[in-house]
Amino acid sequence: MKDAAPQTIYLKDYTPFGFAVESVSLTFRLHPTATRVISKIRFTPIPDASDTRFFLHGEQLKLISAKIDGVEINTKMVVGGLEADVPDVPFTWETEVEINPQANTALEGLYMSNGMYCTQCEAEGFRKITFYPDRPDVMSVFDVKIEADGDNTPIMLSNGNGVELSKARATWSDPWPKPAYLFALVAGELIAHRDTFTTLSDKQVQLAIWVRPGDEHKCAFGMEALKKSMKWDEDIYGREYDLDEFNIVAVDDFNMGAMENKGLNVFNSSCVLASPETATDGNFERIEAIIAHEYFHNWTGNRITCRDWFQLCLKEGLTVFRDAQFTADMRSEPVKRIDDVITLRARQFPEDQGPLSHPVRPESFQEINNFYTATVYEKGAEVIGMLKTLVGDEAYSQALDLYFMRHDGQACTIEDWIAVFEESTGRDLNQFKLWYSQSGTPEVAVREAYDGTTFTLHLSQSSAPTPGQSQKAAQVIPVAVGLLNDNGDEILATQVLELTQEEQSFTFEGHASRPIPSVLRGFSAPVTLRQDIDNTRRAFLLAHDTDAFNRWEAGRDLARDSLLGAVLEGTPHNTAYLQGLKAVLSDETLDPAYRALMLGQPSQSELASELHKMGHTPDPAAIHTASEALRRAKAEAFADLLPGLYADNQVAGTFSPDAGPAGQRSLANAALSLLTRLDQGKTAAQQYASADNMTLQLAGLSALLDAEKGEDALEAFYDQWQNDRLVIDKWFSMQVMHAKPTALTKTVRKLCDHPDFEWKNPNRFRAVMGMLAAHHAGFHHESGGAYELLADWLIRLDPVNPQTTARMCAAFQTWKRYDQTRQTMIQGQLERIASQNGLSRDTTEMVTRILEG
């Protein structure tokens, strides 16, 4: 049997499978190198099916036997699976296959991590476990029996409810029909952190987080997050949990963040394990969000799933939107919004504006794993947010109720989703649907006019060509606008303008003096805004905007202009910005977390993108210098303020990861970072030495590294944490992040020689190589050494783990922004990767798209 050869799959070619699966019963005889999987599947031919071919997916399986209704049959091995002649009446299909979990380094299918068996089946991994119609529109109930020698695998878990659990055997039954991608099995030496949750209708659910011995003390926070998520989904969406138990397992070797398998969520250990000593506030917040995300999938993803993988955003966009709502409710709404927009601009915009640009619902792919992207997830969530803005909160709730009622148990499309909104609101959403099919980031330009009474906003939209899409139609863009007077009072509360044409004007009558608009409040649409306003206006909005997002945005725009001026013309940093920012920082009525965000500035990569759009060739070294200079200018301008900000935001008492204290720590640490530029690391050294939690310890270390005084602390940090994989990931990352641009490749090479650089572990690989790619000035250093180093490692990782390799190729997606010399060097590396023998389908697709886009 061969693996499927590169082949393009199209949305337009969708055809349903010709057979229904009534039930699946699986028996696993676990063995590290020779696991047997016995499947018994009830198939029913669907009358009048357009496709009657009986094809089952299967990859890397050794077929031992195949039977139909108990009789041994002949099968025909074809690319990517097998075919067989089958009856035209219901029949029982039985196979026994052998697989080798130990040899599975791709971490897809059944594999081993630290002696523990685990699975990852989304998107198309179940076909590496047994022959099956491995497509999301084939749903069935599953019974699973797991057998093992009992010594190394005392705990054996699968989906649904545990039926019979003994030392050598476990039986699980999942009553909810599900597609194979939601199948999971975990077995090993695991310890449970247990709790219970009582649902809306008074049913008690047994909850457990399963971890390796030694990690028991890192489960409490995740468990609280789970219970909060269960309650929130009942309160806000009326969604109740539907099994007697809910299990979460932490796994060290995992390609992504976590996976929503029915009743048995599997997590990258970095996304669930946390203790105050080992996890930062950022880690805690992320863990809470990911636990919520996977839990919320139980309804948006599992009970209602996707018809085919082109519909991925149906579950992911909606579930990201739901987890963002949850975080906003648990913590601070404006802070969450700003965080999300920062991520969108850092991850989705470059994707949408480069060779990898694709619609929220793509129309073709070679390897679906390459489409778990910021566009599908984050832009997908923005699209839901716009829909909610356009129809209103009430109508959104009603539409969701209808969605859950109508489509429970089904595998659906974006058309189904849109139809629910059209029917429940009576609104025509044809134009809105373009958000799912048109790629690229629309640009909205704003012009103002005032005639003494009437104030007019002239809005226009345009969208640059993207791969495969040269012409774009106007989209529906909700533009939230408020008006202020000269004193900064809000004279018109936020209104949503619906921009539906290429150009449109909106008038506001009865204004005796010229109002000041605040446009795209709350970032009401994922667009770039071109507003021809000067820095005085921006400084005014920074001081007065009543919309927290736009107030932050005004500061961000000032910082960006100041940085661009410094890069292009060597102009000194903008004093109006620094003064305005100082006033915000000193305003104790403002949330510390919000003030900490205010201290941030656009990333170097974002500036490079901005320069490129303005028609300049970005110089990474100059951008780095200007960014550093702005930080120094802030340190100097705020010299009298920083010690107070730092001192006033120290949190006393027992550590709490809640938003309040976490916000204070983030402001104190932002102040520390600037303060370090003035006191040569004195405060940072004190903080490092006295820190009793990872948030303070890591910020201390980070500041010391910036001041080039981190050597001793680095060594001490390693000695202290050498037995904690997750903390050692941070130790690796920190050194890469804080390397001088000229020393980056040398630093990384040295780290790669470290005995703890277990490069086959995705977290460790990303801790080093992900940070290498994220270090803008170092990655794009004129020597090209970092390009070559990354390519070397991608070539090495590809045969081991194609999925993680392919994702990391995106580091090169911005290559056309840079000068000819750099482009030539990057092109050379991409072609070198592409020319490797046996390169995976995943990496081949990514490299080809980046080169050709």
* Number of amino acids touching ligand TRP (CB under 6 A): 12
**Residue 309 touching ligand TRP (CB under 6 A):** no
Q: Could you tell me the sign of the dihedral formed by the alpha carbons of 558, 564, 566, 568, in that order?
A: negative
Site stretch for ligand TRP (CB under 6 A), options 16-24, 255-263, 396-404, 428-436: 255-263
CB of 371 to ligand TRP, least distance (A): 10
CB of 284 to ligand TRP, least distance (A): 19
Q: Which is nearer to ligand TRP, 316 or 557 (CB)?
A: 316
Amino acid present at 280? T
Per CB under 5 A, residues contacting Zn ion are 316, 319
- With CB cut-offs between 5 and 8 Å by kind, which of ligand TRP, Zn ion, none does residue 122 bind? ligand TRP
Of the candidates 94, 215, 316, 352, which one interacts with ligand TRP according to CB under 6 A?
316
Q: How many CB atoms lie within 10 A of CB 48?
A: 7
The closest alpha carbon to 237, from 119, 332, 322, 361, belongs to: 322
**Residue 255 touching ligand TRP (CB under 6 A):** yes
Residues 122-181 that bind ligand TRP (CB under 6 A): 122-123
Question: In Å, how far from its chain's centre is CA 482?
Answer: 31
Q: Which is nearer to Zn ion, 147 or 316 (CB)?
A: 316
Q: Which is nearer to ligand TRP, 260 or 561 (CB)?
A: 260
**Residue 378 touching ligand TRP (CB under 6 A):** no
Q: Which is nearer to Zn ion, 319 or 389 (CB)?
A: 319
Q: Which is nearer to ligand TRP, 298 or 687 (CB)?
A: 298
Gap between the Cα atoms of 556 and 350, Å rounded: 18
CB of 312 to ligand TRP, least distance (A): 9
CB of 778 to ligand TRP, least distance (A): 29
3-state SS class at 329: helix
Which residue pairs from 548-551 have beta carbons closer than 8 angstroms and sit at least 24 positions apart in sequence?
548/334, 548/337, 548/338, 548/594, 549/334, 549/337, 549/338, 549/341, 549/521, 549/522, 549/523, 550/518, 550/519, 550/520, 550/521, 550/522, 551/584
CB of 268 to ligand TRP, least distance (A): 8
**Residue 120 touching ligand TRP (CB under 6 A):** yes
Site stretch for ligand TRP (CB under 6 A), options 138-146, 256-264, 399-407, 505-513: 256-264
Q: Which is nearer to ligand TRP, 54 or 241 (CB)?
A: 241
Q: How many CB atoms lie within 10 A of CB 689?
A: 11
Contact 436, 361 (CB under 8 A): yes
**Residue 606 touching ligand TRP (CB under 6 A):** no
Helix, strand, coil tally for the chain in percent (to 5): 45, 20, 35
Catalytic residue among 124, 260, 285, 294: 294
Among this protein's residues, is 845 annotated catalytic? Answer: no
Q: Which residue is it, tokens 């209103």?
A: 392
Gap between the Cα atoms of 320 and 326, Å rounded: 10
Q: Which residues of 258-285 are buried (b: 16+ CB within 10 A; e: fewer)?
A: bbbbbbbbbbbbbbbbbbbbbbbbebbb
Contact 774, 608 (CB under 8 A): no
- With CB cut-offs between 5 and 8 Å by kind, which of ligand TRP, Zn ion, none does residue 649 bind? none
Of the candidates 256, 496, 533, 714, which one interacts with ligand TRP according to CB under 6 A?
256
**How many angstroms separate the Cα of 96 from the Cα of each of 1, 25, 72?**
16, 12, 11
CB of 199 to ligand TRP, least distance (A): 22
Of the candidates 134, 260, 729, 842, which one interacts with ligand TRP according to CB under 6 A?
260
Gap between the Cα atoms of 749 and 289, Å rounded: 34
Gap between the Cα atoms of 387 and 427, Å rounded: 11
**Residue 372 touching ligand TRP (CB under 6 A):** yes
Site stretch for ligand TRP (CB under 6 A), options 164-172, 212-220, 253-261, 726-734: 253-261
- With CB cut-offs between 5 and 8 Å by kind, which of Zn ion, ligand TRP, none does residue 258 bind? ligand TRP
Of the candidates 258, 264, 773, 806, which one interacts with ligand TRP according to CB under 6 A?
258
Phi (first) and psi of residue 667, to 5 degrees: -70, -45
Write the DSSP assignment of 54-113 as a string of letters: -EEE--S-EEEEEEETTEE---EEETTEEE----SS-EEEEEEEEE-GGG--S-SEEEEE
Active site residues: 294
State the residues that interact with ligand TRP by CB under 6 A: 120, 122-123, 255-256, 258-260, 293-294, 316, 372
